[in-house]
């Protein structure tokens, strides 16, 4: 059996915030009952997953909406069930994505005790973050997020920051990057905000492909100056993972979308949280086996549609780094996924600008001397005539510095 992970939505789309750009909140309108995962669904999900062959590595991702509105007792019960049904020698990992506003000392202590990796959504300093990320009462949430992060720090919980790049912050890569750096946040994940209306037109808070490319190039400029081995940016890490080891660790880079399952609060199973739709309902864990879900014709067809990219992708020098991009950004997917990603121009601009330097860094890593040489450089002020931190041997102004 091919290994897979779980992305679990125990409270479905329910949330204590009402972020204007949220792509999932509309699911609440379709739910007639209270969207809370029952003990029966939780037990069946964990017990069944632990019976599958995952090379003894079992990955649980908790998400929403806001999964923390389930309360601490729910997650305590989940961990106890994981212990109960885990096969001998099993390695269990739990990740939880949260808006951060509900984190208190008790939750943080629990996360620390069981080594949860927490993703906290934070779009930048308060005036940027609060533009879209408000409470149900339309009040700011930034200060609540920062309080939650402080609890994580006090309890030594590992966390990263997820930044949704939208029309309000897409021109502010440098400001956001340095704000996070000054706050001591060294693990970043930047996600493009692209949502469409019923006519497949981008919504107002969405970004264009060119804007995405400019943002990533600006971000790269800040990172490469002195932070190559100080700050982890998931996209950059993923590029190096591929260049050094030939592996993909983010789903959009791969050529097949059969990589995980989404579990809704009632046990319904879907192939991707961007595609929780009736026509892509795979089954329900209350009466379907994981083996059958993996073999589902709907699941397999959805996964294979990733490789049905636009014909121009065949001649693209960067095809191995995106395989046509996430199906979400190929309008009409998965029924007609052979459409160019709306972010294509941005990806091309970014890879054209940065890939030569990523390859140099990757070669230095392969040769085993990258860390020492980069650490020596990264703490120095990099001027126009300084050696480029990427290790090319050229001056910074003639290499990674954008003119």
**Sequence-separated (6 or more) residues with CB below 8 Å from residue 107:** 68, 72, 151
**Sequence-separated (6 or more) residues with CB below 8 Å from residue 175:** 124, 125, 128
Pairwise CA distance, residues 263 & 5, whole Å:
11
Of all residues in the chain, what percent are helix, strand and coil, respectively (each to 5)?
Answer: 45, 15, 45
Tell me the three state secondary structure of residue 395: strand
* Cβ-based neighbour number of residue 139 at 10 Å: 11
Tell me the three state secondary structure of residue 268: strand
The pair of structure tokens assigned to 126 is: 């308060």
**Sequence-separated (6 or more) residues with CB below 8 Å from residue 160:** 117, 118, 119, 120, 185, 187, 188, 189, 232, 234
Catalytic (active site) residue 39:
no
**214, 273, 288, 325: which is the annotated catalytic residue?**
273
DSSP 71: -
The strand pairing partners of 190, in sequence order, are 163
> Residues with catalytic annotation?
273
């Amino acid at each position: 059996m091919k290994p897979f992970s779980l992305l679990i939505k125990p409270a479905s789309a329910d949330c204590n915030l009402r972020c204007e750009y949220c792509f999932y909140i509309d699911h609440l309108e379709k739910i007639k009952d209270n969207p809370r995962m029952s003990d029966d669904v939780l037990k069946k999900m964990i017990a069944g997953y632990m019976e599958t062959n995952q090379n003894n590595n079992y990955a649980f991702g908790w998400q929403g909406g806001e999964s923390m509105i389930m309360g601490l007792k729910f997650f305590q019960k989940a961990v106890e069930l994981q212990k109960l049904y885990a096969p001998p020698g099993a390695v269990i990992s739990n990740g939880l994505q949260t808006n951060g506003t509900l984190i208190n000392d008790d939750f943080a202590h629990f996360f620390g005790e069981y080594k949860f990796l927490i993703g906290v959504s934070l779009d930048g300093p308060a005036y940027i973050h609060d533009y879209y990320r408000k409470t149900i009462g339309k009040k700011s949430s930034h200060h609540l997020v920062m309080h939650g992060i402080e609890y994580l720090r006090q309890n030594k919980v590992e966390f990263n920051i997820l930044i949704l790049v939208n029309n309000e912050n897409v021109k502010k890569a440098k400001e956001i990057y340095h704000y996070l750096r000054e706050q001591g946040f060294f693990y970043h994940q930047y996600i493009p905000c692209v949502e469409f209306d019923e006519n497949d037109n981008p919504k107002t808070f969405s970004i264009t492909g060119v804007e995405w490319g400019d943002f990533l190039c600006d971000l790269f400029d800040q990172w490469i100056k002195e932070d190559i081995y100080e700050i982890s940016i998931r996209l950059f890490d993923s590029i190096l993972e591929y260049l050094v080891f030939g592996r993909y660790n983010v789903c959009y880079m791969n050529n097949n979308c059969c990589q995980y399952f989404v579990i809704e609060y009632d046990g319904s199973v879907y192939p991707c949280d961007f595609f929780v739709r009736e026509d892509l309902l795979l089954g329900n864990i209350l009466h379907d086996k994981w083996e059958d879900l993996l073999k589902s014709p709907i699941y397999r067809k959805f996964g294979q549609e990733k490789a049905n990219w636009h014909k121009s992708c065949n001649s693209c020098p960067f095809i191995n780094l995106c395989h046509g991009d996430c199906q979400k950004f190929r309008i009409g997917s998965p029924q007609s996924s052979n459409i160019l990603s709306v972010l294509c121009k941005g990806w091309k601009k970014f890879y054209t600008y940065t890939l030569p330097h990523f390859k140099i860094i990757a070669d230095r890593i392969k040769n085993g001397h990258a860390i020492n040489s980069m650490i020596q450089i990264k703490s120095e002020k990099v001027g126009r005539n300084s050696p480029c931190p990427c290790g090319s041997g050229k001056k910074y102004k003639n290499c990674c510095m954008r003119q």
